[in-house]
Amino acid sequence: MKKYAALLTIALAFVFFYAAGDLPQIGDKDSPANVHVSPRYIEDAMEEIGSPNLVTGVLADYRGYDTLGETTVIFIAGIATAMILRGKKEGDDAE
């Protein structure tokens, strides 16, 4: 089983290295990440949101649903930490 896992890992690594050659250069203005929604955010954010801070505009307005998820994740992390650290141990019922 370990042999198969190692073989699979090597094969996947080869695929990834092969595919990495076709990735666009960092900062390439024609890469898909830079021609899809980014220009619209940069050009229209000031008119549509009225906030000069582009980061806040994207974070809280265009992608508000995403930020709601982030907040929920933080809330759940707090609950989980409290439950693990403040939970009762076994045989700790007598109080």
Partner 1 sequence: MKPGFISFVLDTAFRVLVPFTLVYGVYVLIFGEYGPGGGFQAGTALSVGVILSKLIQGKEKAQFNIRGSMALILAGIGTFIYAAVGFTTMIFGGKFLEYEFLPIPVHELTELHVWGILGIEIGVTICVMTTFIAIFSALTGEEGPFKDA
The residues of the shown chain that bind partner 1, judged by CB under 8 A, are 47-53, 55-56, 59-61, 64-65, 67-68, 71-72, 74-75, 77-79, 81-83, 85-89, 92, 95
Nearer to partner 1, 22 or 47 (CB): 47
Nearer to partner 1, 26 or 55 (CB): 55
CA distance 18 to 95: 62
Q: Which of 76, 71, 73, 47 is nearest to 59 (CA)?
A: 71
State the nearest-atom distance from the C-beta of 34 to partner 1, in Å: 23
| Integer CA distances (angstroms), 63 to 7, 16, 38, 90, in order | 40, 30, 13, 44
Report which DSSP code applies to 58: I
State the nearest-atom distance from the C-beta of 83 to partner 1, in Å: 8
